[in-house]
Chain A
Amino acid sequence: MTSPALATLIAGRRRAGLVTIVGFALACLLLAVVAVGQGAIAIAPSRIAEILLAKLSGDAGLLEARDVLVVLNIRLPRVLLGLLVGAGLAVSGALMQGLFRNPLADPGLVGVSSGAALAAATTIVLGDRFLAGTMMKLPFAALPLGAFCGGLVTTLALYLIATRGGRTSVATMLLAGVALGALASALTGLLAFISDDRQLRDLTFWSLGSLGGASWTKLSVVAPIILPILMLMPFLARGLNGLMLGEAEAYHLGIPVQRIKALAILLVALAVGASVAAAGLIGFVGIVVPHLIRLSVGPDHRLLLPLSALGGAMLLVSADIVARLIVVPAELPIGIVTAAIGAPFFLWLLLRRTSLIDV
């Protein structure tokens, strides 16, 4: 193959990649619009458009009725939170899988989710006892803040354990993560044991995840964490591609391996901490979305990372539509729906392929 032909081929690939990303982004936008239109209360699309326009133009005149509250304070933050959390979880999964060069890696695997869950369980069970004053002032902030700190502390511990002399050993980190995860789960179990009935049920529901608690306040906490991560993502893609060859090889290619590893770990901790804090434990998105994307477009992180973000956002928003419509006027925990929709689809995709391992 001559070099101009190769150049054309690469340019073609790049264009195809860009087209895919734009296509995904449009699909995601369309889905978000549909999601804002769906809910237990039937509101005509024209009315929704009217409400949104009035909000955008700052016209407070009609911002009185109940459907305005539903669109602006319930659905819109909920859909936006779904987009952010879905994107955050899926990108975290993709980053972890790239970092560990292991398609099974997932934020749950290295204990970040467990650490966040432990902190959340602590606020649920012990919050009333030890934080009485604070809980009164910040009843809705204590749980997310707790979960977020839990995720960060776990990741920090993990990083300190796995880093010796400026080098982070991914294998040590994986093993330490499993151990820390087990420890966090054990402590969560202990908290479940000493909790009363109500707290136990709160724990159970929280651990199944929900976007039901979405609010602008919550968004204003989550968005400044997850959005920058999504912005930083492209800078990691080349490094993670290099890491696929092996750490030493990547190093000799001139890739700042240590910096890439540290950055990826930090981003995962922030994204997962924020997601868990805002929506509880939502499994499955982080591990499966990157796989779906890899199965369809290949392992190039320059495509994989943004498409995972968009795919995760779409999966979570679709799952949330189902969660809030299927048992109206009640709602299902979203973790049940992501698994129930995603798992069979994923299995079907796997079964269609002849080889299961060439990720």
Chain B
Amino acid sequence: MSGPRIRQAHSTIPQPNRRELTAAIALTALSLGGLGRPAAFAQAPERIVVAGGVITEVIYALGLQDRVVGVDSTSQYPAQALRDKANVGYVRALSAEGVLSLKPSLIMVVDGAGPPDAVSLLKESGVKIVTIDDGQTPEGVVAKIAAIGAALGAAEPAGRLAAETKARFEELSALRAAITQKRRILFVLALQNGRALVGGRNSSADAIIRLAGAVNVADTIEGYKPMTEESIAAAQPEIVVMMRRGAGDHAIKPDDLFALPAFARTPAASERRLIQMDGLYLLGFGPRTPMAARDLMAAIYPEAAIPPLKTAAAP
């Protein structure tokens, strides 16, 4: 691309005069000086405060984390985000002065960050605020990545990541199309005194179950809600999905779960089918989501030998 332009320059201006030469040297010096920082984005915002784990995840995926000075407490992936950056608190309970104390030049929040009073104070402060739509569909995830890239002046690498993610979703959709007999899944967010808090319709759990080519048996419930024992027994889930919470006491063992009266008579219990996955990976709805959905699919349909996504890098 630069080749023809140089040739043209030579043809029209055979003898560069002194002023042009000085300007060229100065420009070269300037661009060399900019090499310390990512030269391509030299004029882009340098101090970013992020409220919303998925934004942090995308920024790290784009390798732009050096420009981030603060993240919120939901920014748990990658793990070093909360280790390396200041923690501005929970995404819906931000402190206006706390955020401003990091001297941000750009504040990126997911829609629903708050409280509204703090956000309006931040807007008054004159710092640029970008709100990212937190969609939980493949289109939503792709749009999210593109929007984050656009806000960072990194549209090109973000566009690449978005395109890769889109391709992975398409590949996933092809895998999904091959599933003829959809299994019935119950997502259990938590067990409170033996009562199950399940993921119903319009929850992130519901979205990932659909992406994995399965049926959510709790879709008569809206959001994350407790489900009665009888309804669980009547829903006849073939598989129970839960979040993995490290080793310790929090890990649920299949024997414990299926000993509960609500679960004892379900098909899931008779086959001892409990899938446990990392919660953020499973429900984060960022660039890793196609892989998470594929992994869930592989766990739900082990006999189908679901292949890994071809375009997928290691998560």
Contact of B95 among A66, A197, A212, A218 (CB under 8 A): A212
Q: Is there a chain B Cβ closer than 8 Å to A345's Cβ?
A: no
Q: How would residues 203 to 214 of chain A score, 1 for a CB under 8 Å from any chain B CB and 0 otherwise? A: 001000010111
Chain B residues within an 8 Å CB radius of A202 = 92, 114-115
Cα–Cα, bound, A6→B121 (Å): 58
Listed stretches A223-231, A233-241, A323-331; interface member: A323-331
Interface contact B97-A324, CB-CB below 8 Å: yes
Least CB distance, B36 to chain A, in whole angstroms: 27
Interface contact B96-A212, CB-CB below 8 Å: yes
Chain A residues within an 8 Å CB radius of B151 = none
Interface size class of A (residues with CB under 8 A): 20 to 34
Contact of B98 among A75, A197, A331, A333 (CB under 8 A): A331
Cα–Cα, bound, A108→B87 (Å): 34
Contact of A329 among B86, B124, B203 (CB under 8 A): B86
Interface contact B98-A139, CB-CB below 8 Å: no
Interface contact B98-A328, CB-CB below 8 Å: yes
Q: Is there a chain B Cβ closer than 8 Å to A182's Cβ?
A: no
Give the total number of A-B pairs whose CB atoms are below 8 A apart: 100
Q: Is there a chain A Cβ closer than 8 Å to B101's Cβ?
A: yes
Q: State which residues 188-247 of B face A: CB under 8 Å.
A: 202-203, 222-225
Q: Is there a chain A Cβ closer than 8 Å to B62's Cβ?
A: no
Contact of A140 among B94, B100, B117 (CB under 8 A): B117
Contact (A39, B93) CB under 8 Å given A140-B117, A193-B225: no
Least CB distance, A2 to chain B, in whole angstroms: 61
Interface contact A198-B95, CB-CB below 8 Å: no
Interface contact A329-B93, CB-CB below 8 Å: no
Interface contact B117-A66, CB-CB below 8 Å: no
A and B contact pairs by CB, cutoff 8 A, 20 listed: A40-B100, A40-B101, A197-B203, A197-B223, A198-B92, A201-B90, A210-B93, A212-B117, A214-B117, A324-B95, A328-B98, A328-B101, A329-B86, A329-B89, A329-B98, A329-B101, A330-B73, A330-B89, A330-B93, A330-B98
Closest 4 CB pairs of A and B: A330-B89, A329-B98, A213-B117, A40-B101
* Further pairs besides A140-B120, A329-B70, A329-B98: 18, Cβ < 8 Å: A39-B101, A40-B95, A41-B97, A66-B126, A70-B97, A196-B223, A198-B92, A202-B114, A205-B90, A205-B93, A212-B96, A212-B117, A213-B116, A213-B117, A215-B121, A329-B95, A331-B93, A333-B93
